[in-house]
C-alpha cells in the first residue's frame, strides 16, 4: 500500500473525557530492499480517551482544523456530556508542529506547546496527563508527559535515536512506544513505566516493528512488521513482555495499523488500502471498506459497533470516516478543510 512520503500539514487529535482523559505513523514502501518500509512525515491520529466507564457517544464536531489527516486511532470510552470533553491534537507544517486542545465545537482553542516540534498527544486513561513526542531538547524525537494545561513537562526518554508513538496501557501504568535502532529507518517496540523508568526493549531481530497497540486487557500488544523477511508488513501480536510473538496475517497487501476491539476478540487493520477485521488470531478476515480509495488506520468505537478510519481519495485528499463493524452505514465525518466528528 503506497503512502505519500511528504505531508505538508499534520494533525493529531485526541478526545478527552470528563476532567481529563491513544496510533499511527505514515509508512512508505521503498525501493531499497534492505528497508522494506520507512517512516514518512507524521500524518496524524485521532485518539478517543476516557475513564474506564463508558456510555454511548453523542456526535461532536471540530471545525477549522486545517491539514492532512492520515493514520489515526482512538482509545477508551465516551463522555456523558459534551460540555466536559476536549480534543487534543497537533497541527502545523514545514516541520513546525504544536499541540492544542479545544472544545468539541472547535471553540476555546488553547495552545499547550510552543517549542516547534510537538506531536502525537495521547491522554492517560485517568485523564490526568498527556504523553507526547517532542524535539524541544534534542535533535531526536523524545517522549514527554505534561499536565492537561501544558504545565509540568517531564521528559521520559533520553535516547540517541527517535522515540515515537507513545500509548498508555489500559491501566495507565505503562507506555508502549517505538524506538529507532539507529540503523536506517528501523524501529523496535519498547515499553516503559508511566514515569519513564524501566525502559525495556520488547522486540529484536531483523525487520521493522511498528505501530504498537494494546489489547483491551493490556495482556497483549499488536504491531505490524516485516520481521520474517517479507517486503511488505503483516500483523503480529505478542505478550505484553514481548514473548510469544505470533504472526496473524500472511498476505502481501501491506497489512498495518492494528487496533484491538474493546472485547479483545477481534483486530481491525488496514490491508491493501481497505479496512479489514479478523479474529484476534488472524482467522476469518473480512474487508469492510471500499477498494476504490486508500483506507488506513482503523480504530474501534468504545462499544465495538463502529470503526473510525482515515481515507485518502484518488485526488489525494485525506479525511476521516466512520463505518459499522459489518461494513454498512459508512459516514464521512470530515471535509476539506478537515473537520473531526465522532459518533
* Range with lowest mean pLDDT among 111-120, 274-283, 291-300: 291-300
Predicted confidence (pLDDT) per residue in 87-104, tens digit: 566 766 678 888 877 654
**More confident of the two residues 71 and 180:** 180
107: its cell numbers: 471553540
> Residue 36 above 60 pLDDT?
no
154-168 pLDDT, tens digit per residue, is 999 998 999 998 888
Average pLDDT, integer, range 234-244:
98
Q: Is the peptide bond before 337 cis (omega within 30 degrees of 0)?
A: yes
C-beta atoms surrounding 126 within 10 Å: 17
Distance (Å, rounded) from C-alpha 149 to C-alpha 110?
8
Whole-angstrom distance, CA of residue 29 vs CA of residue 19:
41
Q: What is the mean pLDDT of the chain?
A: 72
Cα-Cα-Cα-Cα torsion 182, 299, 226, 188, nearest 10 degrees, comes to: 30
What residues contact residue 328 under an 8 Å CB cut-off, 6+ apart? none
Q: Give the separation between CA 202 and CA 241, rounded to whole angstroms.
A: 6
Q: What is the CA radius of gyration of the chain?
A: 18
Quote the CA–CA distance of 174 and 119 in Å, as a whole number: 19
Q: What percent of the chain has pLDDT over 90?
A: 41
Cβ proximity of 180 and 187 under 8 Å: yes
Sign of the alpha-carbon torsion through 226, 157, 70, 287: positive
**Whole-number Å distance between alpha carbons of 45 and 36:** 23
pLDDT higher than threshold 70 for residue 340: no
Question: How far apart are the C-alpha atoms of 243 and 193, rounded to whole Å?
Answer: 18
Element (H, E) at 99: strand 96-102
Helix (H, G, I), strand (E, B) or coil at 253: coil
| 206 to 33, 56, 132, 257: CA distances (angstroms) | 13, 43, 28, 20
Q: Which residue has the cell 482467522?
A: 283
Residue 84 DSSP label: G
Banded pLDDT at 85 (limits 50, 70, 90): low
Mean pLDDT for the stretch of residues 332-341: 41
- How many Å apart are CA 259 and CA 297, to the nearest integer? 8
Q: Which triple of cell numbers denotes residue 72?
A: 489515526
pTM value? 0.73
Amino acid at each position: 500500500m503506497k503512502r505519500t512520503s511528504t505531508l505538508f500539514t499534520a494533525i493529531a487529535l485526541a478526545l478527552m473525557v470528563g476532567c481529563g482523559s491513544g496510533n499511527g505513523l505514515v509508512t512508505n514502501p521503498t525501493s531499497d530492499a534492505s528497508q522494506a518500509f520507512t517512516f514518512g512525515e507524521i500524518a496524524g491520529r485521532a485518539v478517543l480517551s476516557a475513564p474506564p466507564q463508558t456510555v454511548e457517544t453523542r456526535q461532536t464536531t471540530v471545525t477549522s482544523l486545517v491539514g492532512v489527516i492520515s493514520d489515526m486511532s482512538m482509545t477508551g470510552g465516551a463522555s456523558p456530556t459534551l460540555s466536559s470533553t476536549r480534543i487534543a491534537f497537533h497541527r502545523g507544517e514545514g516541520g513546525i508542529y504544536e499541540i492544542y486542545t479545544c472544545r468539541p465545537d472547535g471553540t476555546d482553542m488553547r495552545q499547550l506547546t510552543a517549542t516547534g516540534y510537538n506531536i502525537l498527544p495521547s491522554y492517560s486513561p485517568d485523564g490526568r496527563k498527556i504523553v507526547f513526542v517532542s524535539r524541544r531538547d534534542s535533535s531526536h524525537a523524545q517522549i514527554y508527559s505534561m499536565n492537561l494545561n501544558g504545565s509540568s513537562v517531564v521528559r521520559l526518554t533520553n535516547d540517541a535515536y527517535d522515540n515515537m508513538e507513545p500509548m498508555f496501557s489500559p491501566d495507565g501504568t505503562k507506555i508502549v512506544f517505538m524506538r529507532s535502532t539507529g540503523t536506517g529507518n528501523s524501529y523496535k517496540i519498547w515499553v516503559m513505566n508511566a514515569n519513564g523508568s524501566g525502559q525495556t526493549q520488547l522486540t529484536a531481530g531483523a525487520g521493522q516493528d511498528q505501530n504498537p497497540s494494546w489489547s483491551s486487557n493490556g495482556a497483549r500488544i499488536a504491531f505490524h512488521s516485516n520481521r520474517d523477511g517479507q517486503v511488505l508488513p503483516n500483523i503480529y501480536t505478542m505478550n505484553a513482555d514481548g514473548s510469544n510473538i505470533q504472526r496473524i496475517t500472511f498476505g502481501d497487501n501491506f497489512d498495518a495499523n492494528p487496533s484491538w476491539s474493546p472485547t479483545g476478540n477481534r483486530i481491525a487493520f488496514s490491508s491493501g488500502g481497505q479496512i479489514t477485521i479478523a479474529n484476534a488470531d488472524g482467522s476469518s478476515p473480512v474487508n469492510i471498506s471500499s477498494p476504490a480509495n486508500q483506507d488506513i488506520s482503523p480504530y474501534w468505537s468504545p462499544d465495538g459497533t463502529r470503526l473510525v478510519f482515515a481515507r485518502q481519495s484518488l485526488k489525494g485528499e485525506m479525511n476521516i470516516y466512520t463505518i459499522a463493524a459489518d461494513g454498512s452505514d459508512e459516514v464521512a465525518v470530515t471535509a476539506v478543510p478537515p473537520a473531526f466528528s465522532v459518533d
